[in-house]
Amino acid sequence: MAAIFGMAGPILTEAERAFFKRTRPLGYILFARNIENPTQVLALTQDLRDLDRSYRPVILIDQEGGRVQRLRPPQWRQAPTMAEFGALHGRDPAKARDVLRTNMQLIGKELADIGIDVDCAPVMDVPVAGAHDIIGDRAFGREPELVAALAPVVCEGLMDAGIVPVIKHIPGHGRATSDSHKELPVVSEDLATLRATDFAPFRSFCATPIQDGCFAMTAHVVYRAIDPDHPATTSAKVIADIIRGEIGFRGLIMSDDLGMKALTGPFETRAAAALAAGCDVVLHCEGVMAEMESVAKGCEPIGPRAMRAVDNVDIFRGRPRRPAPLVTAAEFQVTDALRHG
């Protein structure tokens, strides 16, 4: 099924087991409520894979660093914000790229060690003055060129550890003046402005071969200049003309969480609308069984592009990894560079 689901807690319930066995979702996503310690998370990811040995679901997490990371101290390292690397880039671009890659290798190793395949990072949004702080320091900074320079480094570091990145929130959430978790943001800028700012880092990224190893997550944002009636997630025009067309993204497109209040209507309708618009898979995060059952009613079988993406995750799992950095030394390198670089 072309869906990624969350779970209610740190172990699977019998209802979840039965539902996941029946629906065979493309994957699962973990949140803080699912996480206690490394041993427990590894057992959970293995349990998810053992539900049906005839296919290999992917397992995702949001581990950006800063305020958005599900694996937290004291069990895991507190990673810096992306804005800190953006600031270092202004002082020493080469050092910023070097320590950012090391930082992401460390994150990637933490994920791989507990059975996680996919990290929903990097944020490639470009915040503007007056925008809502939901993006804020999750972004590298306010210059499209800066985002374009550093986002590939995040992906390279994760890929070094065998982790698939998810670029987000395509085609750009940076100038939204409201939080899409709570309401639907509407962006009124003209298309020329959007092309020069919001879309530019994604377009630059997709002009390179590294995009072929990545997923992309949509923005629950209305762009009036393109489609005044639908957010990107459910807009065939935004997905076909902008994301696939102008930006040129070729890989798997997943929706942002269907449970966010930017979207309305029954979950069945939300899922069907996102898939009809061109998303390859929908995301539902809350782990609420009634909502997941409704999402499943609006879903389709996994399509060929999503199947290729899953095959790509398998390739990442099995390929030789770069030697992992020595954790203590690498942590010191990252911290010291950000403080003194």
Catalytic residue numbers read: 181, 256
End-to-end C-alpha distance for the chain, whole angstroms: 47
Residues 85/147, Cβ–Cβ less than 8 Å = no
Pairing of strands 3-5, 68-69: unpaired
Structure-block tokens of residue 52:
């049906």
Angle between helical axes of 289-297 and 267-277 (0-180°, round to 10) = 40
Closest CA to 168 of 206, 204, 218: 218
Residues 284/309, Cβ–Cβ less than 8 Å = no
CA dist 142 and 136 (Å) reads: 10
DSSP string, 33-89: GG-S-HHHHHHHHHHHHHT-TTS--EEEE-EEETTEESS-TTTS--PPPHHHHHHHH
Closest CA to 198 of 156, 237, 143: 143
Residues 105/161, Cβ–Cβ less than 8 Å = yes
DSSP string, 275-318: HHHT-SEEEE-S--HHHHHHHHHT-----HHHHHHHHHHHHHHH
DSSP string, 53-66: TTS--EEEE-EEET
